[in-house]
Amino acid sequence: MILSNNTILITGGSSGLGLELAKHFLQLNNKVIICSRSNKKLEEAKKLLPEVEIFQCDISAQEECEKLANWVEKNHPTCNVLINNAAIVHNTNFVTDAYMIDKSVAEIKTNLIAPITLSKLFIPILAQNTNPYIINVTSGLAYIPRTAYPIYNATKAGLHSFTQVLRNQLESSTITVTEVLFPVVDTPFHKGNAPKIAIGAEEAVNELFIGLKKGKPEIRIGKVEMLYKLSRFFPSFAYKIINQL
């Protein structure tokens, strides 16, 4: 990937890895647009990174995805990179949690249906520009589930599978489809309780940029590479390790 002179939309760019990505891409002379639900978080991101463009929306609603795509097409027609980064997680017990259905629906809409919807809406916008990319953010948990996250793992496994299909079906187009699989990263995602093995967002994004430069279709960050291999050859052992963290 050519890492400069792009116009990049990062969903969930107001926090954690999305914000770190925005910072890195701005430093490399790109135009960066971020979206998220909270205006307050977006304003804080704008204070930190004054060059960033912000757009408030909730991507778990299809009509808000459509508003976002229309706004980008009108105001940033040079948009050539979509980064499906926003996601939520519920650390809970599926059996005893009384709000499990609502939580499941919210997770599936945000983490899986939104990237699918945005990919469909953005393909024609991206395709008008040079070096178009769709970058989907998943997790090592796409390979092996962590039992604390009953639905999150499934959304990431689903997005992993969809990304493989999208890459294949876009093969004859100009659009490159890349997946980045992060390990545990210390971000607000963990609400202050990140496991000890968590790496920093800056370290994770630095490694992602190395993978992007090399043009890897699946970029496994940090220990995700090892988890990938373990999940293929020693799946029970991998399951045990992931659930002992």
Ligand X SMILES: NC(=O)c1ccc[n+]([C@@H]2O[C@H](COP(=O)([O-])OP(=O)(O)OC[C@H]3O[C@@H](n4cnc5c(N)ncnc54)[C@H](OP(=O)(O)O)[C@@H]3O)[C@@H](O)[C@H]2O)c1
List the one residue from 9, 32, 125, 137 that touches ligand X (CB under 6 A). 137
Q: Which of residues 1-30 bind ligand X (CB under 6 A)?
A: 11-12, 14-18
| 99 part of the active site | no
Considering 143, 149, 152, 239, which one is annotated as catalytic? 152
Q: Which of 46, 50, 70, 66 is nearest to 58 (CA)?
A: 66
- We find the least distance from the C-beta atom of residue 196 to ligand X, in angstroms, to be 12
Alpha carbons 150 and 95: distance in angstroms, whole number: 10
Rule CB under 6 A: is residue 188 a binding residue for ligand X?
yes
Residues listed for the chain: 245
Q: Which amino acid is at 1?
A: M
- We find the least distance from the C-beta atom of residue 68 to ligand X, in angstroms, to be 9
Q: Which of residues 47-106 bind ligand X (CB under 6 A)?
A: 58-60, 85-88
| Cβ density class 9-37: b for 16+ within 10 Å, e for less | bbbbbbbbbbbbbbbbbbeeebbbbbbbb
Rule CB under 6 A: is residue 200 a binding residue for ligand X?
no
Residues sharing a CB contact under 8 Å with residue 110, sequence separation 6 or more, in sequence order: 59, 60, 86, 87, 88
Residues at the site binding ligand X, with contacts judged by CB under 6 A: 11-12, 14-18, 35-38, 41, 58-60, 85-88, 110, 137, 139, 182, 184-185, 187-189
Which residues are catalytically annotated?
Answer: 152
